[in-house]
Amino acid sequence: MIKLVQMTNAGVAGKFRNLFKAREIFFHDGTSLRRLTIGSRVQFALAVTALSLLLWSIFAAAQLAIVAAGPSQADIARMEREMESMQADVLTIKKVAQARYHLTAREVRRLGLDPDRLQEGVGGPLEAVPATRVADPNFKALFMSWKRLEKLEQGTIAIPSTEPVHGTAFTSGYGVRSDPFRGRAAMHAGIDLAGPIGTPIYATADGFVGRSQWVNGYGNLVELDHGRGIQTRYGHLSKSLVQEGQRVKRGDMIALMGSTGRSTGSHLHYEVRLDGKAVNPVPFMQSSNYLQSVQRRAAASTPIAIGGPEAGTR
Ligand SMILES: [Zn+2]
């Protein structure tokens, strides 16, 4: 058993590389051995967690066996040091997950969104492992931290965060400040961004095309549904380049600027709506680098597949 521990220790670096090369790791969820296929480098920290826990349980098992066999004091001291260091690593990983969650949740709240709402219906790769199957309390705590973080980060993909037009002149702001009575005809429900007719208009978040049609006042309108009650509207377009029901990604060109509808010159009328109610789009256009990097990471993370126990590993 000591030999096993020494081998594990010596082989950690090599194993790590090989495991990532193969993009598969095995971990124990407390009841059975599971296979985790890593599809992206962004899941690296998750894999570190799983691997640490796997090694941790090996050490724990080895330590018990050594006690029964009567090991030397030096063996026990060494293993205790290794255990402590590993437990510290696991704690660090958990703290990283929690810190990332709180930073992201703060950004989400700053935009007037509810972090819990954002996680509704979001199923990350970790959803594949039922929490009830996770027996070990240390693993469970880590697992839940990662699961919560993963869901929130995936949920941020719905938040409009980029500018719908590149390098445009800002001509008219959102009307709340000039008219405190929301819903009045005088209120300007969005912002106006001026530019030449034909200027490309880009989707500010991933979503589906809810509407691509003529609407009185808006002229040619594209409305995107981003999920979780979030919508964006793009008005006065000279041309829509998308069709209803079409899937769009953040940054996709969706339309060309124009002056259709109630408009006196070529500009984009841009709105952000939460549960159907127009809100000030400016904070969304000024989303922090942190939020944007979370969104990029979440969008780039290809799904990781978690398979059940392999035949013969149970
Ligand atoms: Zn406008």
Residue-wise pLDDT tens digits, 140-166: 777 788 888 889 999 999 999 989 999
Do 141 and 184 share a structural domain?
A: no
* Predicted pLDDT at 152: 92
Is pLDDT of 121 > 70? yes
With 60 as the cut, is the pLDDT of residue 29 above it?
Answer: no
Domain shared by 13 and 148, yes or no: yes
User: 264 and 148 in one domain?
Assistant: no
Task: Check whether residue 155 and residue 178 sit in a common domain.
Answer: no
Q: How far is the CA of 249 from the centre of ligand 1 (A)?
A: 24
Q: How far is the CA of 187 from the centre of ligand 1 (A)?
A: 10
Instruction: Give the model's pLDDT for residue 231.
Output: 97
Q: How far apart are CA 36 and CA 41, in angstroms?
A: 13
pLDDT of residue 266: 95
Within 8-158, strands assigned E span: 24-28, 33-37
Q: Let me know if 66 is exposed, middle or buried by CB neighbors in 10 A (0-12, 13-18, 19+).
A: middle
CA of residue 139 to ligand 1 center, whole Å: 52
Whether 219 is covered by a domain: the verdict is: yes
Higher pLDDT, 171 or 273: 273
Give the Cβ contact number of residue 44 at 10 Å.
11
Is there a single domain that holds both residue 192 and residue 137?
no
Token readout for 226 is 């981003």
Taking residues 32-42, report their average pLDDT. Answer: 48
Q: What is the pLDDT of residues 186-228, one digit of tens each?
A: 678 999 999 999 999 999 999 999 999 999 999 999 999 999 9
Does one domain contain both 139 and 225? no
Please tell me the predicted confidence (pLDDT) of residue 38.
43
Question: Does the pLDDT at position 307 exceed 70?
Answer: no
Domain that holds residue 18: 2-159+297-307
Residues 103, 140 within the same domain: yes
Q: Are residues 185 and 137 located together in one domain of the fold?
A: no
Q: How far is the CA of 198 from the centre of ligand 1 (A)?
A: 17
User: Is residue 65 domain-shared with residue 198, that is, in the same domain?
Assistant: no
Mean pLDDT of 167-178: 69
Contact 191, 174 (CB under 8 A): yes
Residue 291 belongs to some domain of the structure: no
**Amino acid in the structure at residue 302:** T
Output the pLDDT for position 26: 45
Q: How far apart are CA 239 and CA 178, in angstroms?
A: 31
Same domain for 301 and 279, yes or no, is no
What integer pLDDT is reported at residue 24 of this predicted model?
Answer: 43
Take residue 86 and report the two structure tokens written for it.
Answer: 């590993």
Residues with CB under 5 A from ligand 1 (ion): 192, 269
Measured N-to-C along each axis, helices 73-110 and 44-69 cross at an angle, to the nearest 10 degrees, of: 150
Residues 34, 110, single domain; the answer is yes
Give every CB contact of residue 218 below 8 A, 6+ residues apart in sequence: 233, 235, 236, 261, 262, 269
